[in-house]
Structure 1
Amino acid sequence: MTTVCMWEVYAGESDMFRVDFRSTHVHYLNNLEEDGKYKWWRNNLNEILVPVFPGQLRQIRKKLFHAVFVLDPATTFGLESIDMIISLYKNSFPVRFGALLFSSKYITYLENHSTKEDRDKFKDDMSDMIIRLFSYIKGNYGIEMAFKFLSNVNKLHIESDDDADDAHLELHRVESAFVETILPKVKSPPQEILLKLKKGPELKELSQESSKTVFKLGLSKIQCSLLMNGLFIDPAEEALLNALNDETQRLQEQVYFGQIKSHTDVLDKLLSEAGIQHYNPQIICDNKPRFISLAMFTFGEASILNGINYLHSPRIIDDLKPVTHLFSVDITLAIGIKLLRQGFNYLIEGSKDARVELKKRTKHIVEIIEEVKWEDVDPDMLTRKFISDIVMYVSSSMSMIERSSESARFEVLSAQHSAIILNNENSSIHIDAVLDPLCPTSQKLSGILRVLWKYIQPNMRIMLNPMSSLVDLPLKNYYRYVVPSMDDFRNTDSSINGPKAFFANMPLSKTLTMNLDVPEPWLVEPVLTVHDLDNIMIENLSDTRTLQAAFELEALVLTGHCSEKDHDPPRGLQLILGTKTSPHLVDTLVMANLGYWKMKVCSSLGSIVLQ
């Protein structure tokens, strides 16, 4: 095989994936709920629903937004990100900032040495040294002083001579930044502390565990990454602002519907619901998964998935497998063997993602497939492996279906006193409608809902939500929705009645107007009526007090624009619409203003030619 990748079989979901970065190795610079810096901010969660000016940030004393930078502190990009964190923090940005530090060289060493004995032979590098010094300062002088140390490293790095030896200067800059940072706080010479930390094993294990955490998250190949509540974004200030606005809208919805309350730990909730343990850009793009349907490989006897022997735990070899892991590697390449080893380690350590996917996605598919009655299938084929394969194929195929995230949640609304509930146990469609019974839009929608109930009979719940104001009383407009149906055709001949609407109990003494609310291109006019439809007063009609009118779609207005090759309008150009039998039905001239043209046409197939 030429492709080296690993994927898991998921079922589709519209929610974005979040990287579950929760760890004791994340160093948070601030705490919006506890720091005195934010004591004047309001702690009412409902403040997030208050409208603000565009670009204005809501200052709420709640840990709603967590921006964690995953960086190598020995790189220029990582140190510049530290300065951005400190700048935003000093400007009271309403975000909890954190940093997860790692050593790129140590992670590269981990990838090439799988045994613990080999890992212990790793020689300290500059990133490891910075992480150890950072941890020492944090433990003894506080987190702000630790971030100041990283900022001092960057300051000395910027001030350094570019022609000097980078490795020597890097070590010199780190040592100078450490001394400069702790000098006002220590009694003994800081050089002695530095020498002790360089020679002693203290904090070495803590530094390596931090790098291992980044390695497991799959973020070590990126110079610097930023996780906004677990969402992977570009580590730039503009991207952070955009992500903050997008995340605000998502949190507003959950606060409004009561899914996030004042005591809710927002980060734990978000990462528990959609968190993944490993970020792989080959699988996840724009915080959404990339899927491939395995069903395309199942047809025919020569399918590559036929006859695969799967690796199982001896305890569950005869059980149904709702989640299947597939590894596609080229074992003739070193990178293929490396990926295969990583995959086995992933399974040996236990796949938390597999348990999440079972609960959220494949569980329901398994329940449905287990109830299927397999007719015309050889009973000897209905093994656990066969059912597991079916679950894998169906899950991967369903994952290809794109689902819109634009949905409203009405389950929190009370339907006890002001709802019309129409149940149909056999329907797979459920419709929720929240209507103000007096507004024109609801009057239009009510007719559409009646048509839907008549023809598809869904489960329907109509909740009435009137406004407190009575400005819409008395009613000024009355609507009926008409749609063609089989009732329009007569049984005795081939004539067509056409769709119709009936209005009853209209006000007698009011002057009414009758017309059709149709799309703008429709030219509709009354063809059968004996009354002036613009001035109808029912009490002045005959004794029956009944009015009838028939309307006809006379024509459609066809519009468009045209231009020359140089994008100038073809002034004076004549367009002719016709058919093969009638080449010239209607014509028009192109206007000099933006090349606009329009013509009145009948509903038939034709073509436009230039004159």
Structure 2
Amino acid sequence: NLHYRFEIQPGDACLFINGLRVDMDTYDPFSLLDTLKLEGKMMNGLHNLGINGEDMSKFLKLNSHVWDSTYALDIRHSSIMWINDLENDNLYVTWPASCQELLKPIFPGGIPSIRRNFHNLVLFVDPAQEYTLDFIKLAKLFYYHKTPLRIGFVFIVNTDDEVDGTKDAGVAFWRAFNYIAEEHDASQAFVSMLKMYQKVKNQNILTVDSVKSVLQNKFPQANTGDILGIHSKYDDKRKAGASFYEMTGLGPLPQALYNGESFNHEELNNKELEKAVLHRMMDTAVYLQREVFMGTLNDQTNAVDFLMDKNNVVPRINPLILHTKRQYLNLISTSVTADIEDFSTFSFLDSQDKTAVIAKSMYYLTQEDYDVVSSVTLWIIADFDKPSGRKLLFNALKHMKTSVHSRLGVIYNPTSKINEENTAVSRGILAAFLTQKNSFLRNFLRKLAKEETATAIYSGDKIKTFLTEGMDENAFEKKYNTIGVNIFRTHQLFCQDVLKLRPGEIGIVSNGKFLGPIDENLYAEDFHLLEKITFTNVVEKIKGIVESMEINSKNMSDLIMKVDALVSSLPKRASRYDVTFLKENHSIIKINPQENDMFFDVIAIVDPLTREAQKMSQLLIVLGKIINMKVKLFMNCRGKLSEAPLKSFYRFVLEPELMLMANDNIGPVAKFLDIPESPLLTLNMITPEGWLVDTVHSNCDLDNIHLKDIERTVTAEYELEYLLLEGHCFDIITEQPPRGLQFTLGTKNKPVVVDTIVMANLGYFQLKANPGAWILKLRQGKSEDIYQIVGHGGTDSQPDVGDVIVVLNSFKSKILEVQKKPDQIKEDVLTDEDEKKGIWDSIKSFTRRLHKEKDKKETDILNIFSVASGHLYERFLRIMMLSVLRNTKTPVKFWFLKNYLSPTFKEVIPHMAKKYGFQYELVQYRWPRWLHQQTEKQRIIWGYKILFLDVLFPLAVDKIIFVDADQIVRHDLKELRDFNLDGAPYGYTPFCDSRTEMDGYRFWKTGYWASHLLRRKYHISALYVVDLKKFRRIAAGDRLRSQYQALSQDPNSLSNLDQDLPNNMIYQVAIKSLPQDWLWCETWCDDESKERAKTIDLCNNPKTKEPKLKAAARIAPEWVEYDAEIRQLLDRLENEKKNA
């Protein structure tokens, strides 16, 4: 059951909070806290509305909606001139007509040719405009290729009452097209239309002469003057196209619709439109196949009606309604007793309470006089004593005449100072609302909305003369004469303080969603669109729940409005699930919430013998301390186990509330008690994705904890050192990541603190930062020369600024959008700076580099990179460093991966640097969350050796040499740095094959590696040199990561990750083979070659399995001397520390 509904297998873990699924693999406490805050806001809102218990649970399971932008226009309109009809034209008579044809197999990308109008293209054009020629050519292409597409035109031409077609090309075209269609047929009219545009010569624009020429040549009997002249009888419905176009709400011409759905601006380009139409036809074919298979579409179904009767089809597409940023009123308030007529008290209320008073005192026009539940509540806001306000009221009433879901209320927003004279119409509207039944109210309001009525009232006519039959005249007249102006002042203040409208401005509120100020005319179709998108989302479900509650219809309508406003105002959420279990007697642990209080519904599914259970147990304990929750815990155990499922001890450090640390308080603690003493243990920290955490103190080797040999308690202290600024960057033109693009992060006083490069993988980038405000910008050089930042999301800057201010106050990613500068379209940030440059450009480039202190080429520095974890390998690492220094006169800078260095090493390294005169830097990079994770520390370290070379070091570093910690260097590495790589991004030493007795262990000589390498060498990763400039330019890092992502899903692949990956990619990322004497290893190389060795690697021997310490002293005599020298330094530092 769980697998079928949620894809949860035995052994999997999952957590649901109020039906929202929490992914145990990716969640962090901060995202969970955000979820709890939003859920708490919704629950408090429902509680304040008087909803509790099971009713609240029903509302919490609703999926909040977004206002969809994929609405379609109804194309069943008489102004569309269809040039073909798949169902009736002889051209398609040989095609099958059955819907079952949709289920037959076709070639990929094909569209079934069926004699049904399932695909409809409508083109909106002005015949006399240049773009029309492209649309005509597209229609011709589809028509003559017999594409199963019905094609229609809406012609927008001059709408003046009298137009001479002999002087207006658009009108001439319209009348000629009508003549041919009436005298012959629409397809003949289309063929003639093509001929007219074939004659277009001057600037691709149709002329009257082109129209006349076709009429005279093709229809010699036609009287051109009568057809095109002012009194032409072929002028019928000339204004209909323009009227329909205006009514649709579509943007500037040209426009096109496929099955009623519009195209974006980029798709309306002639070259793109053909592809866009065909793509939509393929998508529709798949949709139709599904409908036929499900039985909802059959041969008796009218094709166009089937497409146009869908919920997303509307009579008008208004961007104001569909795309306006959501702004919701808070309709939930505690007991507010203020009277709508008490302006003085109202003025002191806050926005929430002002809104509550307005909602409570609102009177509505509904469909019936009694017991009607309205799902959509519309408030129209205007000055109804102005023509614009009355027009809004008239169109709202027109909508109400056919609406089945809406009720209508009015809010008065007078333009000028309020008095009885300038509120005559508004007072009439209000008095009618207060005294009349719906059936009479509607007719009277329609009368008041007419301009002639308002003109008469302002001219001195009594308003009672306009009362309609059946109205309660006495009640109306009494209320009209005693209303006063305080209600209007209250409404005006609400508009000003809450809706932020100026006097007289127009707006609409639909179930709490406010749209305004509105500058354009709103038609009845706009109200219909507003009702449709409100009702077809979550409101229908809310209505179903409310109707099951025992309250009267007025309160039901109010509750639907308030719940919808609450639910819809919250950010878009993932889908909610109704999680139930087939059996609950023995596999479910239930914990009831505290009574008489609202509670969170928590469902935990977990196998108790898994890493997820270790996390979830502590999480549930903490949740139980901070929220009231009803818990169901399902034990999702596996039936069989092939090995021990848990191989680690786990503590989750999460406190229910913030801990303020005193001087003697060490803060949150993870304690491991009663741990077995015999196993060899490693202590690791698992942190949220956006954190860089460092070990600052430990009293033993955390990589090799053997409790049996340790008399005291093992302690370690960790520190949150950096928060990551993560993001994704895209080129808005290509919609692809601009790989190789470089960014810097800094402050006003220090513009460049860190820099990075954009990966091709998802356009990802990360930068080390801390809480506060930072400046993110393109790095000086090719990145800044070629690109410009044109947009960004999740930052704290205006969209159009080049230097982006980023306030690091959350762990959410930032989105950057860039675009090439107009004069740099053909340039590429990954090309060599000096390629294709003239001498003057070279001089400028050289001069610029001289002034870039940060980017100055450090050719006189040997950059050595290494990694180590655990005290033993740190001992080897110090000896390797000393051997490098003893064999070179070139200044050296060591780069160490900080992630796994012990506090002891980090404490000692400054003293070594001072004594031996070298530079050093600790680098770190957080393994991206989207890249397949490794769980074993050794494999993680291997990954850092190869996967992040392009982003691990500052961009000013051009070349780096990796040296394994367990190597002894006997030669000047400057020679390796200067070695010619012949265009390859890196150079590796091949494995030796001179020690023949080890042939049985040379795995690369057989199987996969033998066939993959094809007699090429398999290279060892203990020593390699990287040309970072070349490496970045060919995007080698992106290629390696992509291949790693593909191969690492298989646990049997990449067994030696750091060297298998580059050897696997040898044909995509070239390796320069270094001379064999650069790396000598006793396991693989014979004794004779040792004399020529420039470095000695203490690699493992699978045959003898000799310990490395023993092997080091035997193989390299100088290793003992180096070790003793460093030991003296460490002893001296320890004594100084004790005596300090």
TM-score between the two structures when normalised by the length of structure 2: 0.33
Q: Which residue of 2 aligns with 1:273?
A: 311
Note the C-alpha offset of 1:23.
1.3
Q: Does 1:101 align with 2:154?
A: yes
Give, in whole Å, the separation in 1 of the partners of 2:119 and 2:84: 11
Q: Which residue of 1 aligns with 2:692?
A: 521
8 Å Cα contact 1:569/1:594 also seen in 2: no
> Could you say what secondary structure the match of 1:204 adopts?
coil
Matched letter for residue 362 of structure 1: V
Q: Which residue of 1 aligns with 2:1032?
A: none
Q: Which residue of 1 aligns with 2:537?
A: 360
Change (3 A) 1:408 1:360: closer
Q: Does 1:159 align with 2:330?
A: no
8 Å Cα contact 1:45/1:60 also seen in 2: no
Matched letter for residue 751 of structure 2: S
Give, in whole Å, the separation in 2 of the partners of 1:133 and 1:312: 49
Change (3 A) 1:423 1:317: same
Give, in whole Å, the separation in 1 of the partners of 2:575 and 2:106: 21
Q: Does 1:191 align with 2:222?
A: yes
Q: Does 1:174 align with 2:211?
A: yes
Q: Which residue of 1 aligns with 2:73?
A: 20
Give, in whole Å, the separation in 1 of the partners of 2:287 and 2:674: 43
Deviations 1:248-280 (A, max 9, x none): 999899899x78958777995697233333222
8 Å Cα contact 1:78/1:224 also seen in 2: yes
Unaligned runs of 5+ in 1: 1-10, 51-57, 110-120, 374-381, 466-472, 543-547, 573-584, 597-611
Give, in whole Å, the separation in 2 of the partners of 1:76 and 1:312: 47
Change (3 A) 1:289 1:527: closer
Alignment of 1:129-528 (within 5 A): 130=173, 134=177, 145-159=188-202, 169-170=207-208, 172-177=209-214, 183=218, 189=220, 191=222, 204=236, 213-219=244-250, 222-228=252-258, 230-232=260-262, 233-234=264-265, 235-237=268-270, 240=273, 268=306, 272-285=310-323, 291-293=327-329, 295=331, 299-300=353-354, 307-313=361-367, 315-316=368-369, 319-331=372-384, 334-350=387-403, 353=529, 354=531, 357-367=534-544, 385=554, 388-403=557-572, 448=615, 455=623, 482-485=651-654, 498-499=669-670, 515-518=684-687, 521-524=692-695, 527=698
Give, in whole Å, the separation in 2 of the partners of 1:482 and 1:252: 54
Change (3 A) 1:252 1:69: closer
8 Å Cα contact 2:177/2:189 also seen in 1: yes
Note the C-alpha offset of 1:283.
1.8
Q: Which residue of 1 aligns with 2:1026?
A: none
Give, in whole Å, the separation in 2 of the partners of 1:157 and 1:297: 62
Change (3 A) 1:60 1:309: same
Note the C-alpha offset of 1:18.
0.5
> Could you say what secondary structure the match of 1:71 adopts?
strand
Q: Does 1:61 align with 2:112?
A: yes
Give, in whole Å, the separation in 2 of the partners of 1:316 and 1:244: 49
Q: Which residue of 2 aligns with 1:556?
A: 721
Give, in whole Å, the separation in 1 of the partners of 2:119 and 2:635: 39
Change (3 A) 1:98 1:324: farther
Give, in whole Å, the separation in 2 of the partners of 1:67 and 1:501: 69
> Could you say what secondary structure the match of 2:311 adopts?
helix
Q: Does 1:89 align with 2:142?
A: yes
Matched letter for residue 225 of structure 1: Q
Give, in whole Å, the separation in 2 of the partners of 1:304 and 1:271: 37
Deviations 1:441-480 (A, max 9, x none): x976665555556646777899999xxxxxxx98999577
Q: Does 1:76 align with 2:107?
A: no
Deviations 1:470-494 (A, max 9, x none): xxx98999577642256999xxxx9
Matched letter for residue 569 of structure 2: M
Matched letter for residue 293 of structure 1: L
Change (3 A) 1:138 1:400: farther
> Could you say what secondary structure the match of 1:159 adopts?
coil
> Could you say what secondary structure the match of 1:299 adopts?
helix
8 Å Cα contact 2:592/2:630 also seen in 1: no
Give, in whole Å, the separation in 2 of the partners of 1:336 and 1:45: 57
Give, in whole Å, the separation in 2 of the partners of 1:253 and 1:425: 47
Give, in whole Å, the separation in 1 of the partners of 2:84 and 2:636: 47
Give, in whole Å, the separation in 2 of the partners of 1:527 and 1:403: 45
> Could you say what secondary structure the match of 2:319 adopts?
coil
> Could you say what secondary structure the match of 2:380 adopts?
strand
Give, in whole Å, the separation in 2 of the partners of 1:431 and 1:140: 72
Deviations 1:425-447 (A, max 9, x none): 987668899x9x9xxxx976665
Give, in whole Å, the separation in 2 of the partners of 1:551 and 1:176: 93
> Could you say what secondary structure the match of 2:310 adopts?
helix
> Could you say what secondary structure the match of 1:191 adopts?
coil
> Could you say what secondary structure the match of 1:325 adopts?
strand
> Could you say what secondary structure the match of 2:354 adopts?
coil
8 Å Cα contact 1:101/1:131 also seen in 2: no
TM-score between the two structures when normalised by the length of structure 1: 0.55
Q: Which residue of 1 aligns with 2:43?
A: none
Matched letter for residue 101 of structure 1: V
Matched letter for residue 326 of structure 1: W
Note the C-alpha offset of 1:101.
0.8
8 Å Cα contact 1:526/1:552 also seen in 2: yes
8 Å Cα contact 1:431/1:459 also seen in 2: yes
Change (3 A) 1:160 1:558: closer
CA RMSD, aligned part only? 6.8
> Could you say what secondary structure the match of 1:85 adopts?
helix
> Could you say what secondary structure the match of 2:401 adopts?
helix
Give, in whole Å, the separation in 2 of the partners of 1:396 and 1:240: 39
8 Å Cα contact 1:421/1:461 also seen in 2: yes
Note the C-alpha offset of 1:82.
1.9
Give, in whole Å, the separation in 1 of the partners of 2:278 and 2:634: 33
Change (3 A) 1:522 1:280: same
Q: Which residue of 1 aligns with 2:486?
A: none
> Could you say what secondary structure the match of 1:358 adopts?
helix
Note the C-alpha offset of 1:76.
0.9
Matched letter for residue 173 of structure 1: S
Q: Which has the larger radius of gyration?
A: 2
8 Å Cα contact 1:447/1:481 also seen in 2: yes
> Could you say what secondary structure the match of 2:257 adopts?
strand
Give, in whole Å, the separation in 1 of the partners of 2:314 and 2:134: 24
> Could you say what secondary structure the match of 1:279 adopts?
coil
> Could you say what secondary structure the match of 1:327 adopts?
strand
Change (3 A) 1:347 1:31: same
Identity %: 13
Matched letter for residue 361 of structure 1: V
